Amino acid sequence: MTDEKKAKLIRKAVMLVIFGGAIGLGYFLKMPVWDFSKDKEEEVADAEAEQLIRDEMNAENRLTILNSMVDGNPDSEKLKELLEQLKKDKYGDQVEPVDLDIQKCKNLADEHAVDLEEFAGQLDFYADGQKLGTLKGVTDPVVVEQTIDRYLAGLVKRYGPNWLPNVEGMTRRNTATQAVAQPKPKPSGVPGMERVGGGVPGMTRAKPGQSNLRIEPADQPKK
C-alpha cells in the first residue's frame, strides 16, 4: 500500500469519526443536526399565528386589545387575567383580548416597539385595523378599565351608537332619537298680563265706528 492510499484511508476515517460524533451528539441533545424540517415547520406555524393576530387587529365592531406576552413575566400574566375578567363581567363582545407572543411573532413585536429589557406589560388598542393607543408598564385594574371605557366612548362617538354590539344587561342611549329642546316663545303684551282670546282681561273691544269709552262722574264731596 502506497503512502498516498494510506493518507486517503486516514482522511476517510477521520471524516467518519467526525460525522458519527456529530450525529451522536445531536441525538444526545435531542437536536436535529442535519434535518432542518422542524425549524421550517416552526417558521410556518409562527407566520400563521402572526397572520391570525393581524386578522384580529382588523376586526370590525369591537375593540381589540393586543396583550404582549413574555414567558414567565408576571405583568403580562396579570394583564391577561384582568382582560379576561373584564370581558366576562363587563364588556362582553365589545372587547377582544388577543395574546401576542413576542418570541414567536418578532415582526409584530418590533412593530409595537416591545422593549424586553424594561418590559413591564404592554397593551395596544385597535379598532377596524386602526391603532388607537398603547398602555405600557401599567397593570392597575382601575387604569386599564378607565382606558377601555375611554376608547369605547370614542368609538361610539366616531362610528355611531350602533357600531358596537349590544351587551346583555346594558342599555346604550340612542342619541339619534333624543328630543331636541326647542326655544321658548317670547311673551307678548304687557309683563304680568295674559292675553285671553286676543284681548285684555276686563276690557271689551268696541265695534267699528263706536267707542266703548265711558266717563264716570267724579264723586261729589259731601256737605
Amino acid present at 156: V
Of 60 and 182, the one with more pLDDT: 60
Does residue 181 have a pLDDT over 70?
Answer: no
Contacts of residue 66, Cβ cutoff 8 Å, sequence gap at least 6: 53, 57, 98, 100, 112, 123, 124, 125, 126
**Per-residue model confidence (pLDDT) at position 74:** 94
* Averaged pLDDT of the chain: 75
**How much is the average pLDDT of 161-180?**
52
Does residue 210 have a pLDDT over 60?
Answer: no
Of 89 and 10, the one with more pLDDT: 89
Give the DSSP letter string of 180-208.
Answer: PPPPPPPP-SSTT---BTTB-TT--PPPT
Does residue 69 have a pLDDT over 80?
Answer: yes
Does residue 199 have a pLDDT over 60?
Answer: no
**Per-residue model confidence (pLDDT) at position 161:** 74
Cβ count within 10 A of residue 100: 24
Does residue 77 have a pLDDT over 80?
Answer: yes
Does residue 138 have a pLDDT over 90?
Answer: yes
> What is the enclosing helix (H) or strand (E) of 10?
helix 3-29
Does residue 136 have a pLDDT over 70?
Answer: yes
Among candidates 72, 65, 67, 73, which has minimal Cα distance to 120?
73
